[in-house]
Amino acid sequence: MRIFDTHAHYDSRQFNGDRDKLLQALHGGINPDDITGNTGEETLEGNTGTGGVPVKRIVNVGADMASTRTTLELAGQYDFIYAAAGVHPDSAGELIWCPEKCLKDEREHNNTENNLAVENNVEDTEEEDPYKGITEEICTSNREELRNLASQEKVVAIGEIGLDYHWDIWPRDIQKEAFRWQWKLAAELNLPVIIHSRDAAEDTLNMIREFYMESTGNDVSYESLSGGKRQERPGFPRAVMHCYSYSPEHAAEYLKMGLMFGIGGVVTFKNAKKLKEVVDMLPMDRILLETDCPYMAPDPFRGKRNNSGYLTYVAGKIAEIKGMDVEEVYTKTWENAERFFARKGNTYGNTRGSEKNDRNT
């Protein structure tokens, strides 16, 4: 058994104190203290929770220009970590020039990261507003830099991109334009897309339908809900709904367009009835495991710093919902992730040669 975490943020400062030790422990599926031999060196924040299941592959995901850069730095340090390059809707103004006041509510923006930290019970520190002084020239430069970063060998996706109406930091037309520009970039580079959508159900679905129709010339056509190989459509990249939180009815519409679904810690929450219904209806070949760490830890660690080892709880809940063996969940989600992130000429660094051994771990 092995875990493929398809959405993580290990470049976040919440991991600054024990990042390498944690990643090495997760990759080996062992107690992190065994790495230092319990010599009294710095210990990890909590148990990794791997239960002996190694985390053999991770996609670290960018959220703005700065984190896309640090994501690529991290991917360069570990053979088993790959990168997604992209700008989250909360940072849409880094790509699309907003000639009026760029921030809808400057105070709201300045408090956003602190609000997120409180929500997830993760310690945070106040930082200067990174958007002061942004210009049209900077937006143009950022778009060119993002294209160059996304062309690097270890980049396997564009993301996370989309719409976020919860915070509404940037005007919605700016968010939509940033989403559209990055979607086209993914199509240009033949990369899959990681979609973030919060409190924007209708607009997100409508935009993806628009992209679909532009690429096919036809309305959304039915694709089997029983699985099977997704039909590739030129100009319509593979895409995953990260941290899916909408209705089963919307999920059915995304299935018709061949989208995947990222399932993480929320599925373990007692009040996640709607998501459990979605997981029950989804074919197994449309599910990816993800953490969104350091956020969204599953029960019984809700509110604590998340990590990829906790995906054992997510896999267990999926197995319970679908009435299947948890080993089958690990196997199928690994296959799904490999298929989703595959790109022409991509050999996943130097890890391919050890995959036979990984399967026996």
* Mean pLDDT score across all residues of the chain: 85
Report pLDDT for 38: 32
Q: Which residue has the higher pLDDT, 9 or 121?
A: 9
Q: What residues does 227 pair with on adjacent strands?
A: none
Distance CA 172, CA 44 (A): 40
Residue 282 pLDDT grade (very low, low, confident, very high; cuts 50, 70, 90): very high
Q: What is the pLDDT of residues 37-75, one digit of tens each?
A: 333 334 455 555 566 799 999 999 999 999 999 999 999
For the ranges 37-41, 125-129, 191-195, the lowest mean pLDDT is seen at 37-41
Residues 6+ positions from 353 with CB-CB distance below 8 Å: none
Q: Which amino acid is at 46?
A: G
Q: What's the mean pLDDT in 251-265?
A: 97
Q: Which domains are present in the chain?
A: 3-359 (3.20.20.140)
For the ranges 103-107, 109-113, 217-221, the lowest mean pLDDT is seen at 103-107
For the ranges 139-143, 232-236, 334-338, 355-359, the lowest mean pLDDT is seen at 355-359
Q: What angle do CA 57, 63, 69 make, to 5 degrees?
A: 75
Report pLDDT for 235: 77
Beta strands in 228-299 (DSSP E): 239-241, 260-263, 287-289
Q: Are 296 and 306 in contact (CB under 8 A)?
A: yes
Report pLDDT for 232: 60
Q: What residues does 57 pair with on adjacent strands?
A: 4
Q: Are 265 and 235 in contact (CB under 8 A)?
A: no
Encoding tokens for residue 141? 């430069």
Q: What percent of the chain has pLDDT over 70?
A: 75
Distance CA 71, CA 270 (A): 33
Q: In what order do the strands lie in the sheet with 239-241?
A: 3-8, 55-61, 81-85, 155-164, 193-198, 239-241, 260-263, 287-289
Report pLDDT for 215: 86
Backbone angles phi, psi at 33, to 5 degrees: -65, -20
Q: What percent of the chain has pLDDT over 90?
A: 72
Q: What's the mean pLDDT in 208-231?
A: 66
Backbone angles phi, psi at 153, to 5 degrees: -60, -40
Report pLDDT for 352: 36
Report pLDDT for 23: 97
Neighbouring CB atoms inside 10 A of 281's CB total 14
Encoding tokens for residue 222? 């039915």
For the ranges 127-131, 194-198, 263-267, 303-307, the lowest mean pLDDT is seen at 127-131
* 173, pLDDT greater than 90: yes
Report pLDDT for 99: 79
* 357, pLDDT greater than 90: no
**Helix ranges restricted to H, 154-267:** 172-189, 201-216, 248-256
